[in-house]
Structure formats: structure tokens, C-alpha cells
Amino acid sequence: MEEIIFPNQIRMYRRLRGRSMQELADHLGVSLSAISKIEKGYRRVDQEQLVRVAEYLDCPLQDLFVNEQNSQQEVVQSWRREQERRNKINEKSGLKTLGAGLRQIRNEKNLTLIEVAESADMTLSVYHRIEMGQREVSDKEYKNIARAIGMDPDDLRKTIKELDDKGMLEEIIQRNDAKYKLLSTPRGAISAFTTNVQDSTKISVYGIADKDGDIYVEFSNETKKVQRPSILYSKKEAYALNLCTRRLGSLLPTRSILFVDPQDVVSIGDIAVYYTSEHTAKLVSIREDENGALYGMRWNPDEKIDIKNDDLNNLHKVVAIYL
């Protein structure tokens, strides 16, 4: 089953505009089945596709996302039920054990994340989430991963079970859980998303200028609160940063506010916040070198920032910008 990316109102706007699923599929250059999965929130949609959908359906981009203020209550409740259902499926299917087993076997074979991801025909970020136990794996993907590791699928499954029976995966699972907890609640920040409706529409802003164009982030000391973007209404772990640096170039004014979702997958071409220490962050544009390794790019002056595989959890994706 494919990963849920976000709840959306594409189908509602498509019907309001009198467009068929086939017409939207032709516009995006995808199959009819793909459109069905996109509308149900089961298929990944990139930023370019979202923009094209919004333009085609003549609606604001942010209105494509289900949110507490603008969506029908039954739609919001249905999405919450789906999230709960899939969380239970994830627990029962042993995704954490699978991820820990893959990491253990990969390390034993002296393979890197990039090597396995490329051989399995996956992006680095997707495979990393699988090893973290935070993404479901289809049969085809599982077979591709087994091939990339150099094992028969049945033998791989048997080996992981043996490792689990011996208690060799528990430590990895605990480390993954700890990393994911940090990822979900950035640096111990107190979430602005509360049960109070008024408070839930606001998001805390952090960050002051640091040396060398970095941003100093102290989550116990917010600088202000601003309106929460609709795409982050259901993201209690999200936060905002003051730009306060020119190291990204002159593209954005220094008064800009960056909205960050630490759980979203960072991909090539994204702007991301890269934490090099507990309180120090670099704002970078994510690039890929000739070997398929991710790195960050800053300007004024130009600077390439190497990003190690173990640091992927320290990359937080910028999902919206207020100028």
C-alpha cells in the first residue's frame, strides 16, 4: 500500500469545476488510477504537480489541503480515522522490526544507505524512512530491497526474524524511536498546537542571527507568533523560523518567515534547515552530487555543505514561506 502524503480536497474542486478524473490525469500526464490515489491521499504528489493541479482547477494552492477551518467536519474526522487505522497497521506489520533488520544486515554487508537506495530504485529519503520503520513497504519494493542487499526475499525475511528472536534489533529500534521522537518534536519545542481553537491557528517563531550566516534556534524562547498556514493545521510538530540570514542568497527578504515541517521528507530541490548542533542551523538548498549523495548549498559566498547519512534526521523541510 502506498504512503499517505496528505489529506486533500482535489476531488471536491475537480467536481466544482466540472472536470473529469481523466481530464485531470491527462493534464498531469499520469494514469487514471494515479489520480484516484492522489485524490484519496494515498499517492505522493510533488510541489510542481500541486501547482499544476491548483492552476488547472483555478483554486488557491492552500485550499487543496484539508484543514480544520475550511473543510467539512466529516472530511477532517474521516482523515483522522484513516491516520489512526494506518498507525495500527504499521504497528502490527512490524515495520520497526523490518527497518531495524535492514539496517543491521546492511551494516554487516558494509553497504551505505545510498548504495541500497539506488540499487532498489528508491530515493535516499524514502529508503531512510523504511529503515527508520516509518514507511510501509510494498511487495515490489521489498523484493527490490532484497535484491539490492544481495539476498533472496524469503532468506531476508528469515534472517530478520532470526535477528529479532535473538534480541539483536531492540537497540536499533530504540535508537530509531529516539531519533524519530526528536524529529517529531524539534529540539524539545513546546507545540503551539493545543486543544484551544484560538491557539491552534498560531505558530511559534524562533531564531536569531548567528555568526557565519547561521540561525541560532532556542526553542524555549520564541520571538513571536504568526498565523499558522492551512497546510500545517494538523502538524503539531511544525514550527517557524525567522530568516535572519542572507546565506540563502537575495531570493527572499530578511523579514521572511520560514514554516518548517520536521516530519516531511526532504528531497532534491527543497529548501531545508540543517541542524549542525542543538541550537545552530544552516539554511540550505538541497542538491545531489554525481555520486547521488545529498549536500546543501549556500551563497554569499558560495559554500557546499556536506550532509552525512547519519544527519538526515537533522534536515527539516521548509514547506511554506511568508514574505
pLDDT tens digits, one per residue of 13-37? 888 888 899 999 999 998 998 888 8
- d(Cα 148, Cα 136) in Å, to the nearest integer? 18
pLDDT tens digits, one per residue of 232-253? 877 878 999 998 887 876 666 7
pLDDT tens digits, one per residue of 145-166? 999 999 999 999 999 989 988 8
Q: Return the beta strands (E) in the chain as ranges.
A: 202-206, 208-209, 215-216, 224-227, 239-242, 257-261, 271-275, 280-288, 294-298, 303-306, 315-322
- d(Cα 38, Cα 22) in Å, to the nearest integer? 13
Instruction: Map out the domains of the chain with their CATH numbers.
Output: 10-75 (1.10.260.40), 93-184 (1.10.260.40), 188-322 (2.10.109.10)
Q: Check whether 2 has a pLDDT greater than 60.
A: no
Q: How confident is the model at residue 3 (pLDDT cuts 50, 70, 90)?
A: very low
Question: In sequence order, what DSSP letters do the residues of 65-131 get, joined into one string?
Answer: B--TTTS-HHHHHHHHHHHHHHHHHHHHTTHHHHHHHHHHHHHHTT--HHHHHHHTT--HHHHHHHH
Q: What percent of the chain has pLDDT over 90?
A: 19
**Count of Cβ atoms closer than 10 Å to residue 8 Cβ:** 22
Least confident window among 17-21, 39-43, 97-101:
39-43
**C-alpha angle 191-194-200 in degrees, rounded to nearest 5:** 95
pLDDT tens digits, one per residue of 62-88? 677 765 555 556 555 665 665 566 555
Q: Check whether 184 has a pLDDT greater than 80.
A: no
This model's pTM is above 0.75? no
Q: Check whether 274 has a pLDDT greater than 90.
A: yes
**Which residues, including other chains, have CB under 8 Å from residue 305's CB and lie 6 or more apart?**
274, 282, 284, 295, 296, 297, 298
HSE-CB for 269 with a 13 A CA cutoff: 3
